[in-house]
Amino acid sequence: TAPGQQLRALFYALAPGESAFRTVEEVPDYVEKSIPFFITFIGLEFAVSWIQKRKLPGRINDGISSLSLGILSRLPDVLFRSIELISYIYVWNNYRLFELPWDSPWTWYLTLLGVDFAYYCFHRMSHEVNILWAAHQVHHSSEDYNLFTALRQSVLQKYTSWMFNLPMALFIPPSVFAVHLQFNLLYQFWIHTEVITKLGPLEWILNTPSHHRVHHGRNPYCIDKNYGGTLIIWDRIFGTFEAEDAKVVYGLTHPVNSFDPIMLQLRPLAHIWNTFWATPGFCNKLSVIFKGPGWGPGKPRLGLPEEIPVITGKEVPFNPHVPAYLNCYALVHFAVIVDLYMELLASVTMLSQGTVLMRIGFIILSLASFGLLMENKSKAGILEIIRCLVFIGVYKLGYFRSHFSFLGYAYEVRHS
| Together in a domain, 348 and 377 | yes
**Do 297 and 364 lie in a common domain?**
no
Measured N-to-C along each axis, helices 130-140 and 105-128 cross at an angle, to the nearest 10 degrees, of: 100
Residue 317 belongs to a domain: no
Phi/psi at 2 (5° precision): -70, 155
Whole-number Å distance between alpha carbons of 216 and 160:
21
**Domain co-membership, 213 together with 137:** yes
Helices (H), 80-157: 83-95, 105-128, 130-140, 147-150
* pLDDT score at 48: 95
pLDDT tens by residue, 388-409 = 999 888 877 777 766 555 455 5
Regarding whether 370 and 272 lie in a shared domain, the answer is no
Same domain, 60 and 107: yes
Residue 248 belongs to a domain: no
Residue 315 lies in a domain: no
pLDDT in tens, 215-261: 999 999 999 999 999 999 999 999 999 999 999 999 999 999 999 99
The boundaries of the domain holding residue 377 are 324-413
CA distances from 240 to 95, 195, 233, 249 (A): 34, 25, 10, 19
**Residues 207, 228 contacting (CB under 8 angstroms):** yes
- Residue 190 shares a structural domain with residue 266: no
Q: Is there a domain that residue 55 lies in?
A: yes
Within a domain: residue 138?
yes
Please state, as a whole number, how many other Cβ atoms lie within 10 Å of the Cβ of residue 103. Answer: 14
Co-location of 353 and 280 in the same domain = no
Distances in Å between the alpha carbon of 243 and those of 135, 194, 239?
Answer: 26, 15, 12
Long-range contacts of 391-398 (CB under 8 A, 24+ apart): 391/362, 391/366, 394/358, 394/362
Q: Do 232 and 343 share a structural domain?
A: no
- 224, 361: one domain: no
Q: Report pLDDT for 378.
A: 85
pTM for this structure?
0.92
Q: Which of 238, 253, 286 represents a domain boundary (last residue)? A: 238
* pLDDT beneath 70: ranges in the chain: 1, 401-416
Q: How many domains does the chain have?
A: 3
In-domain check, residue 158: yes
Classify residue 254: in a domain, yes or no: no
Rounded to 10 deg, the angle between the 353-374 and 60-79 helix axes is 160
Confirm whether 249 is domain-assigned. Answer: no
Query: Are 60 and 165 in a shared domain?
Result: yes
Tell which residue, 308, 252, 60, has the closest CA to residue 140.
Answer: 252
DSSP string, 220-231: GGGTT----SSB
Measured CA distances, 323 to 268, 320, 385 (Å): 30, 10, 18
Q: What is the pLDDT of residue 416?
A: 45
How many angstroms separate the CA atoms of 230 and 122, rounded?
A: 14
